A and B are shown apart, each in its own frame.
Chain A
Amino acid sequence: MRSLYLSFISEFYKSRKTLAFWAAIILPVVICGLIAFGYYTNSTKILKYNYAGMMLWYRYSSASLNVMGMLILPFYVMFMAFSVNNIEHKNDTWKTLFSQPLNKFAIYAAKYLYAVMLLLICVLLFPLLTYVSGHLLQVLIPKYTFNDYSPVVLLSRFYGKLFLASMGILSIQFVLSLIWADFLKPMGIGFIGTIAGMITANVGWKYAYLIPYCDPALALRAAKGTKNTRPEDLPIFTQEVWVSLIFAVALFIIGYFILLKRNIK
């Protein structure tokens, strides 16, 4: 446990100045900022629709959710999983890392958990910033109906589901980046996977949920169905979330055995 803790802190220390870490913060700030700016400058147009509180929150949060789930999140996950491992590939530091008196599993698990934490930061900041910016818009434009409804359940369910549905992609990309030092192989496979996921999700293929790259988009699609139902009724553990989690656990274990059997160059 101590090895895991020390390795995790070290992961944070060495990557706190890298783009992978800052992207987890910058990405939600930029996307939520742009959407809030759009809602501020186009307020007269939006106010014409006379949305009730819940529907306004739904529309407002969907704007960032759709951009995120479909394209940005899979690409961020790929980039981040690559970055966490590339810091060792690039500096040729695997040999130093594994010659420390630390348990091999702890070093590996700390890296994986750090990647999960970055994803979590990114996915947590979205609802937080959506919530804060919605209330800020309410102050700036009092005619908005953001105050009429508490979006906490809606936002936490949407983003919670998105986070769990992204775990499959994260684990695949993590293991690919662990095996290959170069940028093209993991990114190329991830890119093809994402495109294939988007296509199969859009054409409504029956088994699309079995492709982890499909799962965030499918999870969001299920969320869209809540437009006319209460957000509390949105099921979180749907089949695409289970597939994503099963992939995550399986690849986490496979990744460790690959590492264990591999000679450190």
Chain B
Amino acid sequence: MSRFAIETVGLNHHFGSQTVIKDLALQIPKGSIYGFLGPNGAGKTTTIKLLLNLLQSSSDTIFIFGKELNSNRTACLRQMGSLVEQPAIYAHLTGKENLVNRCILLGIDKRKATEMLALVGLTEAANKKAGKYSLGMKQRLGIALALIADPELLLLDEPTNGLDPNGIIEIRNLMVELTSKHGKTILVSSHLLAEIERTATHVGIINKGALLFQGTINELHELSKPAIKIEVDDHATAANILTRNGAEIVSEKEGTINITYTGKANMGNFNSLLVKNGVTVYSIAPEKNDLEHLFLAITSKN
């Protein structure tokens, strides 16, 4: 039995001559909240559609709970609930009717519809036409539709889009509850790292169809250790002196060196060391490389 809820191997996809997904190797552990990050147009929605078999993929590239997707389509989809792009709801039906329709399609008890409406806070708007719902209400209904069959795996494409701060917090809490109490696995895509950072256990960063980072949230934090930025007249000599005295060089370019931050005292020591050895220090200051900057740095390199 695979330990991954989703695993893709060398997944590619083209729109005409344009390659939109390049050799994607996702590994989403069971029970995780996997934050799928990337700027707009990075290929997040395309990936989700491939995972749902809405877009054609080659055989043996996508595995859901260890099962090959193309040859086990129905069995795989039975374990998945999804919200892709804007919630797809029938505007002429009420919120409740939308849920009842899904119960009919899935052959489940229609009473589940009322339960879901309560879960996403739409009980009062149950009999209102879904076309008249606000964007946030539509999003809630979309989440209720994704959850109604109690799937093991949830694919949520920007689920907090259009929600107010309270709604965002509720969705976050719901995701945490679903994974921690009910053992579900959630793939949640977003273009905002700050949103993912609070809930995700694992992160995958995609840009221009290629996976640039994949790992736990802690591994991502590791990458964003604070640094000291030093501006000097001769960066080669300075780098030499710093390395000999135990500093860890993160990056260096003409006139600027970045070293790992290890405390205020060390920063002072490095300063005096450079000055004593005849290097002119124009500026020295700690620099917090927050996740948002890291995300931008990762995606802009690509």
> A residues within 8 Å of B by Cβ?
2, 6-7, 9-10, 13-14, 17-18, 87, 90-93, 95-96, 98-104, 261, 263-264
Contact = CB atoms under 8 A, between A and B. Distances in A.
B119 interface: no
Given A91-B90, A100-B106, A263-B54, 14 more contacts: A9-B104, A10-B101, A13-B97, A14-B90, A91-B89, A92-B86, A93-B89, A93-B90, A95-B52, A95-B54, A95-B85, A100-B105, A101-B74, A263-B56
Contacts of A263: 49, 54-56
Contacts of A264: 49, 54-55
Interface string B83-103: 011101111110001001100
A91 B97 CA distance: 15
Contacts of B86: 92
B288 interface: no
Nearest to A263: B55
A26 B82 CA distance: 38
B105 A102 contact: yes
B54 A14 contact: no
A207 B82 CA distance: 51
Interface of B: 49, 52-56, 73-75, 77-78, 80, 82, 84-86, 88-93, 97, 100-101, 104-107, 145
B88 A96 contact: yes
A91 B90 CA distance: 6
Nearest to A18: B92
A102 B145 contact: no
A136 to B, nearest CB: 35
Contacts of A2: 107
A101 B104 contact: no
Contact of A95 (B49, B73, B90, B100): B49
B263 to A, nearest CB: 52
A264 to B, nearest CB: 4
Nearest to A107: B105
CB-based closest 8 A-B pairs: A101-B78, A264-B54, A101-B77, A96-B88, A93-B88, A99-B52, A10-B104, A263-B55
B54 A99 contact: yes
B228 to A, nearest CB: 49
A6 B78 CA distance: 15
A90 B90 CA distance: 9
B55 A13 contact: no
A14, A18, A87, A98: most-surrounded residue (chain B CB, <10 A):
A14
B53 A99 contact: yes
14 contacts: A2-B107, A6-B105, A6-B106, A9-B104, A14-B90, A14-B97, A17-B92, A17-B93, A91-B90, A95-B84, A96-B82, A99-B53, A101-B75, A101-B106
Given A17-B93, A95-B49, A99-B77, A10 B105 contact: yes
A14 B77 contact: no
Contacts of B78: 101
A100 B107 CA distance: 11
Most buried by B among A6, A7, A10, A96: A96
B62 to A, nearest CB: 14
A101 B93 CA distance: 22
Contact of B54 (A7, A91, A98): A98
A85 to B, nearest CB: 14
Contacts of B90: 14, 87, 91, 93
A100 B77 contact: yes
Contacts of B49: 95, 263-264
A103 B75 CA distance: 10
B199 to A, nearest CB: 23
Q: Which of A7, A14, A99 has the most CB of B within 10 A?
A: A99
Nearest to B84: A95
A206 B47 CA distance: 54
**B55, B78, B88: which has the most chain A beta carbons within 10 Å?**
B88
